[in-house]
Each structure stands twice: as structure tokens, then as C-alpha cells.
Amino acid sequence: MTRTIKLAVIPGDGIGPEVIEQANRVIDAVVAGGDITIERTEFKLGAERFLETGDTLPEIEQAAIASHDAILFGAVGGVPGDERLRSANIERGLLLKLRFDFEHYANVRPCVLFPGVESTLADPGTVDFVVVREGTEGPYVGNGGRLRPGTPAEVATEVSVNTAFGIERVVRYAFETAMARPRKKLTWVHKTNVLVHAGATWQGVVEAVRAEYPEIAVDYMHVDAATIHMVQNPAQFDVLVTDNLFGDILTDLAGAIGGGIGLAASGNINPDGTFPSMFEPVHGSAPDIAGQQKADPTAAILSAGLMLDHLGLDAEAERLRAAVRADRAAAGAQVRSTAEVGDAIIAQIPARA
């Protein structure tokens, strides 16, 4: 009996298509010889599509994407400063729209320093944490406005909206994530001493949920202090949970610590399964190096690994990660093309147990 997985692929702009090509090759190689069939539908969305047709995310395509089992997402964004994109906001209209509409409330971003990966910040093998970033509310809701734009009396607001409903589900997800890991530690991050309203709601929810998880050691850090801890002692972290904006900032920093943003994977998870989850490298579209086979596809490949986890294909996910680990240990500092990294990782995939 074969299982068919319906995969929506959004390669996007810049280096997106190149890295997604390699991620797809690795997925195929890792499922080969098993009982899985991958059925792909590609959606051409992003800045390039917008410039061609004026579309950001047509309703009919969003509905089509929703009918898939998972989404593999490259990167979106045109050349910075392109005036034709000024009015577009592809980020809000496409990427964030998918995260919000598909209830991707657990934005999961692991930070693992593999042996062989150079980092100025920590010894390989000592860093292994995961940031669970809230993905559907907070300062990202887009609420707010501009009054008297372009005049000296201009005022702009941004309203961060935080609900017990939204916080509880992601905090619970983070506790469950910590339960499944050996160290059983959760650090929640906010800025409760300044953002007193949202901070109090977060604190109340964390305190209520932690009562159900007496095995988990919980600590709290202000976001500013968390950056120092992440730089000076990243090995202390196991699971972190934080709001949408703090999570955005901390996971780029974590990427730098995990040997560079070329390795940082993420999953936009809808744990309830009401909509497909979406997997994407943390990096952007990097238009300056697009089409040159210079981008490291490892972040996209590791994101595909998170997708395999999510789909319950644990053995396949583990073999994918084993291949990436082996490749990193073997590769050293040599310069490789995007496809060469894909080739090398495929060559390292261990046989099925």
C-alpha cells in the first residue's frame, strides 16, 4: 500500500527556486525505495509573479494550496528598492497571509550546531535548541495606521494584538516540544517590564500551562538579555517560546550562531491539521546571488526534513538529517555550487535500516 503525499511547492523569487530544486531532489532520494509517492503542484508566486500579472495570492490559488498535505516554500522578495514593488508588500500579502490564514501558530526554528560547521560562537555539538515562535498574532497583525502621511504632524501606530487563545496554543505546543526532548527545559522570552499589557497576558498563560507540566524546568528572560545569553552561552537553551516579533529577531540571531543563515530551517506548523503546514528556510530571496548556483540549499533541505517529521515520516527525516550531518563533517571549507551541495547530501543518505 503506497501513501501519496500532495505537496504544494512555492519556489518564489531569487535563490528560492534553486534551493527548492535541491530540497525536492533530496526528498525524492530519501523516500525512494519506500511506499511513499510525492505528488507536487508548483505555484508561481512572489515578486516576479506580481510584476508579471499584478497578483500576490489569488483566492483560487490559496484554495488550491489549502488542499495539499504540506507546503514547501523557497523565499519571496524582489530586488530591494525596486519601485514597482513599493505598493505590493509581497511579505504581508503572500508569506504572512499564508501563515495567518492557515493558522501556522507554531513557527518552529531549530538551531543545531553540527560537527564540522564553523561558528565563532560556540563549540560544535554543544548547541541544540529550538525556538517556537508564535506565528499568527502579536505585532505582526498589521493593525494600525498612518495619519497625515508626509506632513510634520504625521503619526503612525502599530497595534500588537495578543490573545490568551493564541498564546496558550503556542505555549502548550512549546511545552509538548520540551517534553519530547531529553533536557526538558523551557525558556520563555518577552519584555514584560516594558510591554506590561501583553507581558502580563503571556505571563498569566505561561503560569497556567506550566502547572500541567511539572517535569519541565521553566525560566524567563527579557528579549534584550536573551540576545546576550544566546551569544555567550547558547548551549544553555533547550526550547524557547516567544512572540512573533521577538521570535523573528532571535531566530536570525540563532541562525548566525548555528553556523550561518544558510543552515537555518523552519516549519510554520498548524498542529491542529486544519490547514497544511509550510516549511521554509529562514533566509530570504537574496536577489544579489540569484541564478548563480551560489546559495547553500542546506537550510531548504533541512526544512524539508522538518516537513517529513511533520508528515510522520520519522525514519526518512532522520536519514535526511544524517546525510546533512555527514556532508557537513566531510565538506570542510570548500566552495560548492548549490547543485553540488545537493549531490553531496544525496550521496550521504544512509541506506534504510
Ligand X SMILES: CC(C)[C@H](C(=O)O)[C@@H](O)C(=O)O
* Interaction between residue 157 and ligand X (CB under 6 A): no
Tell whether residue 236 is a contact of a second copy (CB under 8 A).
Answer: no
Strand (E) or helix (H) holding 111: strand 106-112
The answer to the question of residue 139 lying near a second copy (CB under 8 A) is: yes
Report the residue number, 88 or 311, with the smaller CB distance to a second copy. Answer: 88
Evaluate whether 104 touches 250 at the Cβ level (below 8 Å). Answer: no
Q: How far is CA 154 from CA 157, 163, 287, in A?
A: 10, 29, 33
- CB atoms closer than 10 angstroms to residue 238: 19
CA 92 – CA 15 distance, rounded (Å): 20
| # residues contacting a second copy (CB under 8 A) | 62
Tell me whether residue 121 or residue 253 sits nearer to ligand X (CB atom): 253
CA distance 139 to 244: 7
Count of beta carbons in the 10 Å neighbourhood of residue 347: 12
Of 153 and 211, which has the nearer Cβ to a second copy?
153
What's the Rg (C-alpha) of the chain?
20
Q: 223, 269, 301, 344: which one contacts a second copy (CB under 8 A)? A: 223
Residue identified by cell 537574496 is 286
Which residue, 113 or 264, has its beta carbon nearer to ligand X?
264
Binding mask 273-292 for a second copy (x = CB under 8 A): -----------x--------
Work out which of 10, 15, 96, 302 binds a second copy, going by CB under 8 A: 96
Interaction between residue 249 and a second copy (CB under 8 A): yes
Q: Which of 99, 109, 133, 191 binds a second copy (CB under 8 A)?
A: 191
Q: Does 91 bind ligand X (CB under 6 A)?
A: yes
User: Which one from 101, 184, 252, 294 is the annotated catalytic residue?
Assistant: 252
Which residues lie closer than 8 Å to 305 by C-beta, 6 or more apart?
265, 317, 320, 321, 324
Closest CB to a second copy among residues 24, 242: 242
**Least distance (Å) from a second copy to the CB of residue 127?**
13
Tell whether the torsion through CA atoms of 16, 21, 23 and 27 is positive or negative: positive
Check binding of 118 to a second copy (CB under 8 A): no
Q: How far apart are CA 65 and CA 60, in angstroms?
A: 9
Residue number with CB closer to ligand X (118 or 224): 224
**Residue 13 known to be catalytic:** no
Q: At 150, is the secondary structure helix, strand, or coil?
A: coil
Stretch that binds a second copy, among 10-18, 177-185, 192-200, 313-321 (CB under 8 A): 192-200
Here the cell at position 129 is 535548541
- 179 near a second copy, judged by CB under 8 A: no
DSSP 349: P
Q: Is 84 in the site for a second copy (CB under 8 A)?
A: no
Residue 214's contacts (CB-CB under 8 Å, 6 or more residues apart) are none
Q: How far is CA 218 from CA 133, 140, 179, 195, 240, in A?
A: 16, 26, 12, 21, 10
Kindly state whether residue 197 participates in binding a second copy, applying the rule CB under 8 A: yes
Q: Contact residues for ligand X (CB under 6 A)?
A: 91, 95-96, 193-194, 224, 248, 282
Q: Contact residues for a second copy (CB under 8 A)?
A: 77, 80, 89, 91-92, 96, 120-121, 139-140, 142, 144-146, 149-165, 168, 191, 193-198, 200-201, 204, 220, 223-225, 227-228, 231-232, 245, 248-249, 251-253, 255-257, 260-261, 284
Annotated catalytic sites, by residue? 140, 191, 224, 248, 252
